[in-house]
């Protein structure tokens, strides 16, 4: 199952009151308008992406707020957020670097890249680095196999979009982790 291997440990005490920004609320309303009346639940994935851009991860309070906006039960949000791998069910570092581990990237050196990343950031897989800047994760195929090995990083400066890094080498990694985007 897409979400089955992740521990569902919450640091919920840290987030109690959730209030999305005015810009986020406007985007959310636009997304809801894309679906027929009464089918507002369709907007859940786009809204979860917005929520994650604002709060960084899926705390219970954030998911409850999404349920409130969509007028659905909280469990309907929990089961969706935990199914899709892009939503972080635990707190993460400022930058999440997700390295592809599937066949085409593996045969082109993904394991060496991952080891190098861990060494350079001093962070173990799925853990936040001591300086709070990084969480390194393994992901499955990113549809960038022509540039294997590859990874993605989410950037607020690109309106929450993910930047793909392809043809990864230690030099590219050095540059990547030295950059301050926000």
Contacts to another protein by CB under 8 A: 1-2, 4-5, 34, 36, 39, 41-46, 48-49, 70, 76, 79-80, 83-87, 101-104, 106-108, 139-148, 152, 158-164
CB of 152 to another protein, least distance (A): 6
For residues 13 and 182, which CB has a smaller minimum distance to another protein in the complex?
182
Among 140, 115, 142, 120, which residue's Cα sits nearest to residue 130? 120
135: β partners: 96, 128
CB neighbours of 159 closer than 8 A, spacing ≥ 6? 53
CB of 131 to another protein, least distance (A): 26
For residues 43 and 128, which CB has a smaller minimum distance to another protein in the complex?
43
Distance from chain centroid for Cα 100: 14
97: β partners: 136, 153
For residues 2 and 125, which CB has a smaller minimum distance to another protein in the complex?
2
Whether 48 and 81 have beta carbons less than 8 Å apart is answered as yes
CB of 169 to another protein, least distance (A): 15
């Amino acid at each position: 199952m897409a979400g089955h291997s992740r521990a569902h440990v919450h640091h919920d005490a840290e987030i109690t009151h959730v209030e999305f920004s005015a810009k986020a609320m406007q985007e959310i309303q636009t997304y809801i308008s894309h679906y027929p009346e009464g089918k507002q639940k369709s907007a859940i994935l786009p809204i979860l992406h917005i929520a994650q851009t604002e709060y960084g991860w899926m705390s219970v309070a954030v998911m409850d707020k999404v349920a409130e906006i969509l007028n659905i039960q909280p469990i309907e949000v929990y089961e969706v957020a935990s199914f899709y791998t892009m939503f972080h069910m635990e707190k993460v570092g400022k930058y999440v670097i997700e390295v592809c581990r599937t066949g085409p990237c593996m045969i082109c050196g993904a394991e060496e890249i991952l080891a190098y990343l861990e060494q350079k950031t001093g962070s173990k897989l799925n853990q936040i680095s001591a300086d709070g800047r990084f969480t390194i994760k393994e992901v499955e195929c990113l549809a960038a196999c022509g540039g294997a090995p590859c990874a993605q990083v989410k950037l607020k400066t690109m309106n929450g979009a993910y930047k793909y890094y392809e043809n990864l080498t230690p030099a590219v990694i050095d540059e990547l982790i030295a950059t301050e985007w926000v």
